[in-house]
Structure 1
Amino acid sequence: MTCGQWHDACFYLAYKIECTKAEHHVDHEPRTLQEWRDALGSGAWSASSGMSRALAAGEGLARSAWISRHDPASLLAQAEACDALLREHGPAAFESRPLLGVPFAVKDNVDVAGLPTTAACPSFNTTPAARHATAVQRLVDAGAIPIGKTNLDQFATGLVGTRSPHGVVPNPFDGTRVCGGSSSGSAYVVATGQVPFALGTDTAGSGRVPAGFCNIVGLKPTKGWLPTTGVVPACRSLDCVSVFALSPEDAWTVASIASGPDADDAFTRPLAPPLLRVDKLEGLRIGIPAPLEFFGDEQAAAAFDKVLHGLRDMGCRLVDVPMAPLSRAASLLYQGPWVAERYAAVGRFIEAHANDADPAVAAIVLRGGNHLAHEAFAAQYEMQALQQQAHAIWREVDVMLVPTAATHPTLDAVRADRFGPNERLGHYTNFVNLLDMAAHAIPGPWRADGLPAGVTLLGPAFSDYPLAQLAARLVRAWQPEVGVMRHRLPPQPADMPACVPAHLVRVVTVGAHMSGLGLNWQLAERSARLVARTCTAPVYRLYSLTGLQPTRPGLVHVGTATGRAIEVEVWEMDRAHLGSFMMLVGAPLAIGTVELADGGSERGFVCEPRGVAAGSGALDITEHGGWRGFLAWLRVRESSSHDTRNSP
């Protein structure tokens, strides 16, 4: 046995000890961010204790997870300074520093001041970074303490976690399997309890695949929400800073703090109010790729089948989503000209330092130097068409759910084939950034062989918040014991504060916008939610502005003398979407104030008096009680007329 093999055996034994402790429920120390805050705020735990635990844990586990670390004495001094703030201000210290005293790790393609950013290539950069990457700086400003840089597939090119001169990061559950990459080290140090969260990056799945293989959470944000200033680019137009954590709410908290526009990053964009609501699971339309592919891994297929059965039991609607356009988009990432972006980032360096580059990484990156400009434009045109197809998906489903990885390869399989296993790991991940989707990877039910089997929620751009809400609920249903420690997650928080606070407004609908009718899609595409089916105050009359050809209703306030109560629905949407909705309302209809039966009033559809004036052709349909009653009467009338015409 070589020295390296001996160390790996010792580290694997340490994992098993951690697992055994967890199975006997001896892990009572704070692990999630909320547990940290509660323990620090109550005085039951100190930032110094947490830092000491992080440093000690790092000594006992796989050294290949780390590339560089800050000096322990400096880290302990920073932790003590946090404790001093807590002694002075108590829990109020968290108001300005919500991550006070929490240690975290950073993938070594992201700048941390005082440590070199090597991207797992020691000769790439030997000079310590002068300042933090923007995302890191925002976390530091919130009180968090970066303790070091983690290992990765060199230049963030790979999904296996084995392409590094610093050694393979072992899978914490089975040392014969891959940990996943490229953010292997960041996932490993969270899964083994060394830090509560870590930053990774995700271009093709690097922030999701390692999370799936390590039984933790991986948040892959909408492109541009988290700035990439201070990140060594892989494909700059696609790169995302990602977050590994033990719970979806922790990942969301970290991402929301690190997020926001950055003047130094031309690709950043502000978070928009989401066009997605996940208030309830019953009836939620969840897209499932068809056909499903597991490359012969029956245990992976069986684990995902448990998820599908669970969703059906929860009342979700499972909808097949064609995989073909998604797979075609994915193929363009490495088989098309997007690989030229990798060459633009580090290709010249690799050409000049061939001996320092991982052979698989070099083969991929250098291939990007061969693409021609007209090929890039042709691929962009094709991608635009594929994006249109992807956009259409969200008219049929609310979210998608995919296996985080289709199979879990062994290290031997990767040694035997440098590219095949890696390509298969990208089957459900490579298309996501190209098609501008948000993603949230969470643990799923265990495989029969005891390995984790993660799943990933996908949504359209800027669905990050509802995805986190949904992930927080589902992970507790499927796999509430996370990481190697199998730490049981605390109860789901009642709410997670959104980066863009919801400013909800209500709209009263009286005609074809009501549920199940022809224009209801205009509300659905704005993620409006039905609040109530009710009636107006008895002060209205209702008209069909187009007579017996029912297209537009007119609700007119006439007072108590001749008015009646009219059936209506009350819908709720974010104020950010109200303007585009109002643009669809044409005269003589308008959005005004509608009085309701309970004495309250809301904005809603009303009609100007000119719309029902003499000679307008409007038909008074008040006697039918509402638009639905009018439509039902028309159906009976048409049926009777049909019977009369056909009678002898």
Structure 2
Amino acid sequence: MSELNLVTVSGVLAAYAEGKIKPATFLQQKLDDARADKNNCWISLLSDEQLSAYVAALEDKSAADLPLYGVPFAIKDNIDLADLPTTAGCKEYSYQPTESAFVVAQLIAAGAVPLGKTNLDQFATGLVGTRSPWGAVSNSFDASYISGGSSSGSAVSVATGQVCFSLGTDTAGSGRVPAAFNNIVGMKASKGRLSCSGVVPACKSLDCVTLFAHTTDDIERLLAIAGAYDGNDCYARPQPLSSESYLPQQGLAGKALGVPKASQLAFFGNESASELFAESLQQLSQQGATLVEVDFEPFLQAAKLLYEGPWVAERYAAIQSFFEADSSRCLPVIETIIGGAQGKTAVDAFNAMYKLQAYKVQCDAILAELDAIVTPTAGTIYTIDEVNADPITLNSNIGYYTNFMNLLDYAAIAVPAGFQTTELPFGITLFADAWQDGALLSMAGQLQQAYGFKLGATEVALPPLAEQAEAAAETVELVVCGAHLQGLPLNHQLLERGATLLEQTATSANYRFYALAGGPPFRPGLIRDEANGAAIAVEVWQMPVAHLGSFLAGIPQPLGLGKVELADGRWCISFICEGYAIESATEITHLGSWRQYLESLPS
């Protein structure tokens, strides 16, 4: 099993289809792994007998029959599973549901198998993962650091490979912050896309059920199943027919991404996180996105309303009878936060609603000019001891980029974006207007592929996007040497056609290199010369054959496509130049590469 990818949904389904694993043995092993967990991920787990019932339900089915056949998953313990109690992170609140939450039922019907209920910040109030009577959930990379909350156990159980995916919830960032802190993908789809029937509410009008997984392909598969419309949930919304579907070929090329002004970014003294965010912007630009500075102030002002305004009263309403009977049954920090609602009035609520609407008009106007906005998911991370010493201030810092999202009705996806000097993960969030879930998945998928990090805290390599894998047999290798190189002005023409960079190499030592007249964009010419040639630096890209024709049609004279010999003896399709063009060109063979030529030009 060590050679198989058994941490992603697609990997497990492939292993089943190929007969390399069987549900009974694989799922039992995963349950045993969960029982051996060292991170405080779980509040309760299935018994062997309960697991056997799930396995028996799969006996006359196969991976061809069920889209999630035998895939193990975890459920945040404020979401009902009929097999186990729901605690919401509070032992005294515990109850036994008679049926599973709507979203859980959809996943089980598709063949997924729940292993148990995961630890969380009590009553889903917190972004730290430390506010639980079952103990703090430790970070999957360093146990002295927080895992992020409130969906802490759900995120870490995925990051450590105990399950392939998990359910969380998100009111203020709980489906995104733990993803960033544990190097996985967290999707907070459009509000109402996933049913909240059978979910203990935090703020009922804002709550979202969220998905954690290792890849955007897995999230896309899960969203289609878990996102079935629930007519019995008064806050559920059917997906508009006009909304975008998941189209990986859209990607980042040509997208306009808003970036907060530098003065509005906050990293709370974490220089490593600041540098990683700057690098992520460079990566987005290299992938074809255009970055646009935006005024982030109205988003930040809206965020303050969530805890400083009357919406905290909604948390009080969610557990009012329990809280009023004996509030001391809550953890002290939770008692303080929820108890703060007792002084709020209906007038306060209406005044805050008016403020929020004014902010939304401003924020919507900014987003209307963009495809998405990119921010850090969290500006920094803390140790468990640091959070315990100052639980409210540090929790507020972590929510700097997340608290406004549901108030303003936006969709968001958190994606890995590097590792800090502490070797802890860092992540960014892309967010857009409601019902742009597919576009966000597409952009995040391309970015994740560009980074290529291993999955979660495992040693499993990131698989290619499903569309790339399916197209692998129908692709062509294309050699570029000039303006189409990664990050240069015409690279977007490759990205728009689904091309991916395979390698950086050189031609054989048989070519002369010229800077052609004209431009911008400035272009080179490559001409074979057996006697007086040299090796020229090139990149090899893989492009779907279906897009090669449109690419060729856009190539101007004197350039064309032909065959060029590489240093290893391969002959690949490449740009070549007609001989007449060198009469007005400047020879730059001695520089060896187009990038060296560009650097040699006067600034």
> What is residue 320 of structure 1 aligned with on the other side?
293
Matched, 1:112 2:112: no
Judging changes above 3 Å, is the alpha-carbon distance between structure 1 residues 353 and 479 closer, same or farther for their aligned structure 2 residues? farther
Following TM superposition, by how much is the alpha carbon of 1:492 offset from its aligned partner in structure 2, in angstroms? 0.7
Matched, 1:330 2:303: yes
CA contact (8 A) 1:440 1:468 kept: yes
CA contact (8 A) 2:244 2:439 kept: no
> What is residue 129 of structure 1 aligned with on the other side?
97
> What is residue 455 of structure 1 aligned with on the other side?
428
Rounded to whole Å, the distance in 2 between the matches of 1:337 and 1:27 is 52
> What is residue 173 of structure 2 aligned with on the other side?
205
Matched, 1:311 2:287: no
Which amino acid counterpart does residue 111 of structure 1 have in structure 2? D
Aligned to 2:149, the other structure's residue is in SS state coil
Following TM superposition, by how much is the alpha carbon of 1:65 offset from its aligned partner in structure 2, in angstroms? 1.1
Identify which of 486, 511, 516 aligns with 2:459: 486
Following TM superposition, by how much is the alpha carbon of 1:121 offset from its aligned partner in structure 2, in angstroms? 0.6
Following TM superposition, by how much is the alpha carbon of 1:375 offset from its aligned partner in structure 2, in angstroms? 1.0
Rounded to whole Å, the distance in 2 between the matches of 1:469 and 1:285 is 14
> What is residue 596 of structure 1 aligned with on the other side?
none
Judging changes above 3 Å, is the alpha-carbon distance between structure 1 residues 496 and 44 closer, same or farther for their aligned structure 2 residues? closer
CA contact (8 A) 2:251 2:442 kept: no
CA contact (8 A) 1:51 1:76 kept: no
How many residues of Structure 1 are paired with residues of Structure 2 in the alignment? 467
Question: Cα deviation per residue 1:438-458 (whole Å; 9 max; x = unaligned)?
Answer: 011111111122110011110
> What is residue 626 of structure 1 aligned with on the other side?
none
Pairing of 1:339-354 with structure 2 (within 5 A): 339-354=312-327
CA contact (8 A) 1:48 1:83 kept: no
> What is residue 430 of structure 1 aligned with on the other side?
403
Rounded to whole Å, the distance in 2 between the matches of 1:314 and 1:398 is 15
Aligned to 1:453, the other structure's residue is in SS state strand
Rounded to whole Å, the distance in 1 between the matches of 2:3 and 2:304 is 44
Aligned to 2:179, the other structure's residue is in SS state helix
CA contact (8 A) 2:418 2:425 kept: yes
Identify which of 124, 133, 146 aligns with 1:178: 146
Rounded to whole Å, the distance in 2 between the matches of 1:472 and 1:83 is 34
Rounded to whole Å, the distance in 2 between the matches of 1:99 and 1:435 is 33
Identify which of 82, 92, 107 aligns with 2:64: 92
CA contact (8 A) 1:347 1:369 kept: no
Rounded to whole Å, the distance in 1 between the matches of 2:253 and 2:444 is 15
> What is residue 20 of structure 2 aligned with on the other side?
44
Following TM superposition, by how much is the alpha carbon of 1:476 offset from its aligned partner in structure 2, in angstroms? 1.4
Gaps spanning 5+ residues in structure 1: where? 1-24, 498-528, 531-648
Aligned Cα root-mean-square deviation (Å): 2.1
Instruction: Return the TM-score normalized by structure 2.
Output: 0.75
Aligned to 1:78, the other structure's residue is in SS state helix
Identify which of 168, 171, 181 aligns with 2:136: 168
Rounded to whole Å, the distance in 1 between the matches of 2:85 and 2:36 is 24
Question: Cα deviation per residue 1:484-529 (whole Å; 9 max; x = unaligned)?
Answer: 11321211111899xxxxxxxxxxxxxxxxxxxxxxxxxxxxxxx9
Rounded to whole Å, the distance in 1 between the matches of 2:266 and 2:190 is 25
Following TM superposition, by how much is the alpha carbon of 1:80 offset from its aligned partner in structure 2, in angstroms? 4.6
Following TM superposition, by how much is the alpha carbon of 1:350 offset from its aligned partner in structure 2, in angstroms? 2.1
Question: Cα deviation per residue 1:543-574 (whole Å; 9 max; x = unaligned)?
Answer: xxxxxxxxxxxxxxxxxxxxxxxxxxxxxxxx
Q: Relative to structure 2, which stretch is displaced further, 203-212 or 487-496? A: 487-496
CA contact (8 A) 1:27 1:485 kept: no
> What is residue 399 of structure 1 aligned with on the other side?
372
CA contact (8 A) 1:347 1:365 kept: no
CA contact (8 A) 1:249 1:496 kept: no
Pairing of 1:566-605 with structure 2 (within 5 A): none
> What is residue 257 of structure 2 aligned with on the other side?
286
Following TM superposition, by how much is the alpha carbon of 1:233 offset from its aligned partner in structure 2, in angstroms? 0.4
Which amino acid counterpart does residue 255 of structure 2 have in structure 1? L
> What is residue 362 of structure 1 aligned with on the other side?
335
> What is residue 138 of structure 1 aligned with on the other side?
106
Matched, 1:71 2:50: no
Following TM superposition, by how much is the alpha carbon of 1:327 offset from its aligned partner in structure 2, in angstroms? 0.7
Matched, 1:229 2:233: no
> What is residue 582 of structure 2 aligned with on the other side?
none
Aligned to 1:269, the other structure's residue is in SS state coil
Aligned to 1:105, the other structure's residue is in SS state strand
> What is residue 102 of structure 1 aligned with on the other side?
71
Question: Cα deviation per residue 1:204-243 (whole Å; 9 max; x = unaligned)?
Answer: 0000000110111111010011110000000000000001
Gaps spanning 5+ residues in structure 2: where? 471-495, 498-603
Instruction: Return the TM-score normalized by structure 1.
Output: 0.70
Matched, 1:440 2:408: no
Judging changes above 3 Å, is the alpha-carbon distance between structure 1 residues 410 and 63 closer, same or farther for their aligned structure 2 residues? closer
Aligned to 1:234, the other structure's residue is in SS state coil
Following TM superposition, by how much is the alpha carbon of 1:63 offset from its aligned partner in structure 2, in angstroms? 5.9
Which amino acid counterpart does residue 482 of structure 1 have in structure 2? L
Question: Cα deviation per residue 1:281-335 (whole Å; 9 max; x = unaligned)?
Answer: 3331111122221111101111111101112222321111212101110000000
CA contact (8 A) 1:83 1:101 kept: no
Q: Relative to structure 2, which stretch is displaced further, 47-56 or 236-245? A: 47-56
Following TM superposition, by how much is the alpha carbon of 1:339 offset from its aligned partner in structure 2, in angstroms? 0.6
Rounded to whole Å, the distance in 2 between the matches of 1:348 and 1:471 is 42
Which amino acid counterpart does residue 98 of structure 1 have in structure 2? P
Following TM superposition, by how much is the alpha carbon of 1:479 offset from its aligned partner in structure 2, in angstroms? 4.0
Give % identity.
Answer: 44
Matched, 1:409 2:409: no
Following TM superposition, by how much is the alpha carbon of 1:399 offset from its aligned partner in structure 2, in angstroms? 0.9
CA contact (8 A) 1:103 1:147 kept: yes
Rounded to whole Å, the distance in 1 between the matches of 2:58 and 2:365 is 49
Between Structure 1 and Structure 2, whose CA radius of gyration is higher?
Answer: 1
CA contact (8 A) 2:4 2:15 kept: no
Rounded to whole Å, the distance in 1 between the matches of 2:271 and 2:280 is 15
Matched, 1:419 2:397: no
> What is residue 216 of structure 2 aligned with on the other side?
248
Following TM superposition, by how much is the alpha carbon of 1:83 offset from its aligned partner in structure 2, in angstroms? 4.4
CA contact (8 A) 2:251 2:445 kept: no
Which amino acid counterpart does residue 8 of structure 2 have in structure 1? T
Rounded to whole Å, the distance in 2 between the matches of 1:64 and 1:293 is 30
Following TM superposition, by how much is the alpha carbon of 1:252 offset from its aligned partner in structure 2, in angstroms? 2.1
> What is residue 476 of structure 1 aligned with on the other side?
449
Following TM superposition, by how much is the alpha carbon of 1:27 offset from its aligned partner in structure 2, in angstroms? 5.2
Which amino acid counterpart does residue 227 of structure 1 have in structure 2? S
Question: Cα deviation per residue 1:607-645 (whole Å; 9 max; x = unaligned)?
Answer: xxxxxxxxxxxxxxxxxxxxxxxxxxxxxxxxxxxxxxx
Rounded to whole Å, the distance in 1 between the matches of 2:284 and 2:325 is 52
Judging changes above 3 Å, is the alpha-carbon distance between structure 1 residues 440 and 57 closer, same or farther for their aligned structure 2 residues? same
Rounded to whole Å, the distance in 2 between the matches of 1:280 and 1:440 is 14
Judging changes above 3 Å, is the alpha-carbon distance between structure 1 residues 486 and 390 closer, same or farther for their aligned structure 2 residues? farther
Matched, 1:153 2:121: yes
Following TM superposition, by how much is the alpha carbon of 1:152 offset from its aligned partner in structure 2, in angstroms? 0.3
Which amino acid counterpart does residue 351 of structure 1 have in structure 2? E
Question: Cα deviation per residue 1:379-436 (whole Å; 9 max; x = unaligned)?
Answer: 1111111111111122221111111111001112111112011000100100011111
Rounded to whole Å, the distance in 1 between the matches of 2:244 and 2:432 is 10
CA contact (8 A) 1:469 1:496 kept: no
CA contact (8 A) 1:204 1:432 kept: yes
Rounded to whole Å, the distance in 1 between the matches of 2:184 and 2:3 is 17
Following TM superposition, by how much is the alpha carbon of 1:370 offset from its aligned partner in structure 2, in angstroms? 1.4
Which amino acid counterpart does residue 258 of structure 2 have in structure 1? G
Which amino acid counterpart does residue 74 of structure 1 have in structure 2? Q
Which amino acid counterpart does residue 261 of structure 1 have in structure 2? Y
Following TM superposition, by how much is the alpha carbon of 1:195 offset from its aligned partner in structure 2, in angstroms? 0.5
Following TM superposition, by how much is the alpha carbon of 1:263 offset from its aligned partner in structure 2, in angstroms? 2.2
> What is residue 56 of structure 1 aligned with on the other side?
32
Judging changes above 3 Å, is the alpha-carbon distance between structure 1 residues 269 and 473 closer, same or farther for their aligned structure 2 residues? same
Aligned to 1:488, the other structure's residue is in SS state coil
Rounded to whole Å, the distance in 2 between the matches of 1:47 and 1:289 is 47
Which amino acid counterpart does residue 466 of structure 2 have in structure 1? P
